[in-house]
Structure 1
Amino acid sequence: MTTAGAAPSGRTRSGTRTERFVICGENLLTLRIVEALRRQRGDGTEIVVVVADRRGRYVDRIEAAPGVRVVEGGPAGDDDRTLLAAGVRGATAVALVDREDVTNIHRALRVQEIDPSVRLVVRLFNTRLGARIEGILPTATVLSVSETAAPSFVAQAIGRTTRQHVRLAGRTFVVAGRREVDDGTVLCGLAANSQTGAAGGPRLLPDEDTDPADYVLALAVSRAQVTDQLHRPRTERVRNLLDRVVVRVRGTLTRRLARATLALFLLFVAGTVAFATAGGYSLGDAIYLAVLDSAGAAQPDTSASVAVRVIQAFVTVVGIAIIPLVTAVVVESAVSARTVGGPVRRMPRRDHVVVVGLGNVGLRIVTTLRERGVPVVGVEREEDTAGAAAAARAGVPVVLGDATRERVLREAGAEEARALVAVTSDDATNLQAALTARSVQRAVRVVLRLRDDDLAARVERSMDAISRSVSYVAAPVFAAALRDGQVLATIPVGRRILLMAEVTVGRASLMTGLPVAVLTEAGQVRVVGVFRGAGPEAVLEMPPRPRRALKVGDRLVVVATRGGLGTVLERCSARSVVALPGHPEHA
């Protein structure tokens, strides 16, 4: 292990300037960022990781990666001598990824004092604070791990029937099935189910000429196109509206309330039929008498026939018994769940999502689901946690208790839920909660947060669940930000992730003068737009003309895999010399 005091590297034997990335913080995200940087053309790249203690959980795995130097910085790990030894002065970029926001801000200010021009990537949970921090740190990109990862969990929980929207330069992109959008709005295909990719899932970014995609990125050119009713026949829109009404009505009904209501309705029908047949009343009079008698408002009539009086007495007595039952069940359904703080909130009972664990990630998931209009219930072990209180303030019902217990999940409505998302900080708790949910409802969709990749793959195969690692989803975004790429959105496709990013053509890039089509690579990269010009005067050409030559300063909007984004960043970098397929003169 290399400790503080090792000299930073400068140039390779070929004369190309070595990229040096400094990462401060020792956790799983750090390891994933290192792996992502190594995948993105790792040769000639130096990675320095600053840790507080060399005995940390992930230090051995971090140091085992080729080209990685570990610097131990003592208990705080943020003194100026440690940062200088790590080579922050003159570094390509510095990532500050400790779990504590204050620690990352403190280090960012220290690095800025050492080298005001170095690019910073700062991990912060508080995004509102992040917007202000960017004002005092002009070279900083502030990213939230939970905000980056939450859309992936949400997309898997609600399925592909709910669209994902991405906004850029005043335009809205929609991720949807090809049949849901007009062909004229499609920018690129994202995945094809007709062929299988290397990872066993759908083929990503297929060649549209030979394998049209089933899942696409489209441009929403008007406000109407942003809604879920885009390009659908009127009959389908009406049907979908009725479906939503039915779902909302069903969501208010517990099983006991539904049974009591059904009993009252059957009593009304039986009374109507009896009055019309045995009593000889017209249909209108029979309905009138049945309604009054079911409500307990019968008027005694001794002159009526024996049959009519028997029917009237029976309907009245049974109605008086059922109505208080309906009232009691309604009150019970309104207060059955223990909620945190504020007024009692109505608990959804059907077609909702149960989110177990209201930490940073869980809180982002429940708020995102609520913003998308999806009913959601949170489950948290302790009442005094910040996440539980924040979810309650946002209007999300929170059930308190151990999610590994069947009673707690039933209280959260897992029997009729559309999905369960378990995102506590403990893999064992998440797995146990998922197994308990399956015992409550065998068909429930399960999305798990699992850190161990091997465990995640085996769980997916054995119990037909979907697993996600927060760091696995977020690391490519941080790595791209370190390499001059600004990630605009993550698009989950099965267990894999596509990245929508902005990449700038550097002054010494070999891309200058070449057509945009050179960067397109089936299965890896699609260029969907080019910003020409700078600042507010920049014009977004979308889609770009394939033969349009690239210029220095052009900002490319690309959709790519992790490896594909790394290739684009390398080719557009001002520091790289990379051979291009089909262009040997640039080798």
Structure 2
Amino acid sequence: MTSAGSTPSARPRRFVICGENLLTLRIVEALRRQGSAAVDIVVVVADRAGRYVPQIEDAGVRVLEGGSSDDDRTFLAAGVRGATAVALVDREDVTNIHRALRVQEIDPDVRLVVRLFNTRLGRRIEQILPTATVLSVSETAAPSFVAQAIGRNTRQHIRVPERTFVVAGRREVRDEAVVCGLAANSQLGARGGPRLLPAGGPDAADYVLAVAESRARETDQLSRPRTERVRNAVERVVVRLRGTFTRRLARATLALGALFILGTVAFATAGGYHLGDAIYLAVLDSAGAAQPDTGASVAVRVIQGFVTVIGIAIIPLVTAVVVESAVSGRVLGTTPRRMPRRDHVVVVGLGNVGMRIVTTLRDRGVPVVAVERSEGAVGASTVARAGIPVILGDATRERVLREAGAEECRALVAVTSDDATNLQAALVGRSVQRSVRVVLRLRDDDLAGRVERSMDAISRSVSYVAAPVFAAALRDGQVVATIPIGRRILLMAEVAVGRASFMAGLPIPALSETGAVRVVGVYRGAGPDAVLETPPRPHRRLKVGDRLLVVATRGGLGTVLERCASRSVYDRAAVPSRRAEGMVSV
């Protein structure tokens, strides 16, 4: 097999990244990890004194200062004309759009990767930038946080044309549905960490990729006995009702019920009434509708007066508690849902990532409560308008987390922009509920590793999850999904076999590599007539134009992209554009 490093004698491929932030640094690291050393990376920053510039320079890339959206000289000096791809990753959507339009004017054929938070706007932008791939960092990272918050009992579904896959435990799927093993020793806190894409077949893994159940099988599920469907419906109603009852409401209701029972027993014994009459009198008197009867015995009049007075006192209390639980002064929004009180997820922080996590949980039918310090946060009003409860307060205070129901929630997800706040919220959450599942957003890898070991928590870095997707897009690969395994991730991507690719004519196993790459499918044909063959036949040889569906580590995906790339990519990088000659450097 031809080595990935045996490329034609040519100038290395050139990637230009505009923007200075942690995502930029992670993309540089991912590009280095995904490919050989023969890659020219140029980073354009607005200020060389930026926080991440020293680390970017330490990664061995060129850094140019400039990057104004209308500064063509900076872009030309960075080499956007004739570059393999250009990434626009500033935090501001408008800045990235402006730069993308300028780069397109300089070189209409260059591949663009544009970071945008507004995905609806992104779909419009792709119409006027035909070479652009628009990606959202928060949208890319949110499923990883959601998967960890829900836990492994809820499978991750990955939908591709013609097929749906699920990521689940090995024992949760049928043998014939397994496509490949994803990880062994993947339990949280396991010694040595998970072994990704292990050798030995699916039976050697405890976490697998499988084909989802067919529609016919789902139809069989719908034809289950009516009693089972009714029982499941009743269970869902009970869970919903249980989530709406606060402790104060439950206590007031129990007090009213106790008064009714006590009154019934007193009327039946001391008053000498039959059980039916005793219940009738107890209901009316508890509701304050007693009718005076001077001819009744002293015992009956005492009981009637006592039940009536206590009932008049309790009913307003029940009414007040019901109103308070329905419309709480701490819940932001005009039409909030009732606060879930158990088996829900508490999300701390409603920035871009937090808002995506909350809406994703809601779309999956998981009860969720958001906690945000500021009413003016990016997602606070948006989430509240969607009917999701938003608690306004400091999540590092125990009282606020108790208000959000942290005592009986299934998970606490802390995703503010500050590592210290996230860690403190997690510690307070553990003091409220010792066994709560904690998922943290932490930028510092060393801190994250120590927190995971000491707290038995799960940590994620947004840029760490998103960077491989951006890097793969720069290398002309389409990432379909990210699969979190502990703090590490696997990528499922579509990769095309290019013209004169090194892989053309070789069998599929030549591309697979233990611990790095698995080919799980091949699209035969083009356009709407393409058919996904999964698992692919091992002796079938690859042809130019085939699209591979692979699961790989970040480095493994880079190897696949290099081996499958058209050699014309190198040819283009080897021949500098005449229009670039004689331009002034900045």
When the two structures are superposed, what TM-score results if normalisation uses the length of structure 2? 0.87
CA displacement, residues 355-414 of structure 1 (integer Å, 9 cap, x when unaligned): 222111111111111111122222222223332121122222222222223333333332
Match of 1:422 in 2: 414
* SS of 1:248 mapped into structure 2: helix
Q: Does 1:537 align with 2:558?
A: no
Identity %: 82
1:171 aligned onto 2:146: no
Counterpart position of 1:72: 65
Find the counterpart in structure 1 of residue 487 from structure 2: 495
Task: Tell me which of 524, 535, 538 is aligned to 1:546.
Answer: 538
Counterpart position of 2:40: 46
Give CA deviations for 1:312-359 in whole Å, capped at 9, x if unaligned: 444444333322221111112122243334335432232222222211
Q: Which moved more, 1:263-272 or 1:23-32?
A: 263-272
Alignment-derived partner of residue 25 in structure 1 = 19
Residue in 1 that maps onto 2:50: 56
**2:83 aligned counterpart, secondary structure:** coil
Q: CA separation of 1:448/1:50 partners in 2, compared to 1, >3 Å: closer, same or farther?
A: same
**Contact 1:188 1:217 survives alignment (8 Å):** yes
More displaced 10-residue stretch of structure 1: 11-20 or 326-335:
11-20
Structure 2 CA distance, aligned partners of 1:231 and 1:575?
Answer: 54
Q: Structure 1 residues 396, 434: closer, same or farther in 2, change over 3 A?
A: same
What is the aligned partner in structure 1 of residue 549 from structure 2? 557
Displacement of 1:451 in angstroms is: 0.9
Contact 1:224 1:230 in 2 (8 A): no
1:323 to 2:340 alignment: no
Partner of 1:407: 399
> C-alpha distance in 2, partners of 1:533/1:323?
71
Q: Shift in Å at residue 530 of structure 1?
A: 1.0
Q: What letter matches 1:70 in structure 2?
A: V
Structure-to-structure mapping, 1:191-340, within 5 angstroms = 191-193=183-185, 200-207=192-199, 209=201, 211-220=203-212, 222-223=214-215, 241-275=233-267, 283-299=275-291, 310-340=302-332
Alignment of 1:90-105 (within 5 A): 90-105=82-97
> Equivalents in 2 of 1:245, 1:203: separation in Å?
42
SS of the residue aligned with 1:490?
Answer: strand
Q: Which residue does the alignment assign to 2:9? A: 15
Conserved? CA contact 1:485–1:501, under 8 Å: yes
The 1:232/1:142 distance shift into structure 2, 3 A limit, reads: farther
Of 340, 355, 366, the match for 1:363: 355
Structure 1 SS opposite 2:350: coil
| Distance change (3 Å), C-alpha of 1:78 and 1:162 | farther
Secondary structure, counterpart of 2:117 in structure 1:
coil
1:237–1:32: structure 2 CA closer, same or farther, 3 Å change rule? farther
* Alpha-carbon RMSD: 3.1
1:429-508 alignment runs, 5 A limit: 429-508=421-500
Name the residue aligned to 2:74: 82
Name the CA shift for 1:289/1:203 in 2 (closer, same or farther; >3 Å): farther
Deviates more, 1:44-53 or 1:346-355: 346-355
**Cα-to-partner distance string for 1:238-285 (whole Å, 9 max, x where unaligned):** 665444333211211111111111222233334444555556655555
Bigger drift between 144-153 and 110-119 goes to 110-119
Q: Which amino acid aligns with 1:144?
A: S
Match status 1:376 vs 2:368 = yes
Mapped partners of 1:472, 1:537: distance in 2: 36
Q: Is the 8 A contact 2:505 2:543 kept in 1?
A: yes
Gaps of 5+ in 2: 570-586
Q: 1:299 to 1:566 in 2, by over 3 A?
A: same
SS of equivalent to 1:122: strand
Equivalent residue letter for 2:177? T
Q: 2:299 and 2:370 mapped to 1: Cα distance? A: 55
Matched residue count: 564
> For the Cα contact (< 8 Å) 2:396–2:425, is it kept in 1?
yes
CA contact 2:189–2:453 (8 Å) conserved in 1: no
Q: Does 1:108 align with 2:108?
A: no
Q: Which residue of 2 aligns with 1:353?
A: 345
Whether contact under 8 Å (1:339, 1:398) holds in the other structure is yes
CA distance in 2: counterparts of 1:230 and 1:173, whole angstroms: 20
- Structure 1 stretches lacking a partner, 5+ long: 1-10, 578-587
Paired amino acid for 1:58: Y
Q: Point out the more displaced range, 391-400 or 470-479.
A: 391-400
Return closer, same or farther for 1:429/1:276 CA change in 2, 3 Å cut-off: same
CA contact (8 A) 2:347 2:415 kept: yes
- CA shift, 1:167, in A, is 1.9
Match of 2:514 among 518, 522, 537: 522
How far apart are 1:303 and its partner, in Å? Answer: 6.4
Q: Distance in 2 between matches of 1:386 and 1:370?
A: 18
- Shift in alpha-carbon separation, 1:50–1:405, aligned structure 2, 3 A: same
Whichever residue aligns with residue 102 of structure 1, its letter is V
Asked whether the 8 Å contact 1:180–1:231 carries over to 2, the reply is: no
Structure 2 letter corresponding to 1:447: V
Q: Which amino acid aligns with 2:30?
A: A
Change (3 A) 1:226 1:32: farther
1:32 offset after TM fit, Å? 0.3
Superposed CA deviations along residues 405-429 of structure 1, whole A, max 9, x for unmatched, are: 3333333332332222221212122
Q: Distance between the aligned counterparts of 1:250 and 1:563, measured in 2?
A: 48
What secondary structure does 2:203 align onto? coil
Distance 1:165 1:12, change over 3 A: closer
Q: Distance in 2 between matches of 1:275 and 1:201?
A: 69
Query: How far did residue 165 of structure 1 move?
Result: 2.2
Say if 1:303 and 1:342 are closer, same or farther in 2 by CA, change over 3 A: closer
Change (3 A) 1:280 1:546: farther
Does residue 150 (structure 1) correspond to residue 142 (structure 2)? The answer is yes
Secondary structure of the structure 2 residue equivalent to 1:211: helix
Give the SS at the match of 1:151. Answer: helix
Alpha carbons of structure 1 residues 488 and 331: separation in structure 2 relative to 1, 3 Å: same
CA contact (8 A) 1:337 1:411 kept: no
1:511 and 2:503 are equivalent in the alignment:
yes
SS at match of 2:443: coil
Give the one of 5, 29, 37 matched to 1:35. 29
Distance 1:291 1:427, change over 3 A: same
Distance change (3 Å), C-alpha of 1:407 and 1:116: same
Select between 423-432 and 311-320 the one with higher mean Cα deviation: 311-320
1:502 Cα deviation after fit? 0.5
Q: Secondary structure at the match of 1:386?
A: coil
Moved more, 565-574 or 48-57: 565-574
Q: 1:340 to 1:328 in 2, by over 3 A?
A: closer
1:183 and 1:337, CA in 2 relative to 1: closer, same or farther beyond 3 A?
farther
CA 280–433 in structure 1, closer or farther in 2 if over 3 Å, else same: same
**2:186·2:486 contact (CA, 8 Å) conserved in 1?**
no
**More moved, 278-287 vs 341-350:** 278-287
1:538 Cα offset (Å): 1.6
Contact map agreement 1:125 1:144 (CA 8 A) in 2: yes
In structure 2, the CA distance between the partners of 1:16 and 1:231, relative to structure 1 (3 Å rule), is farther
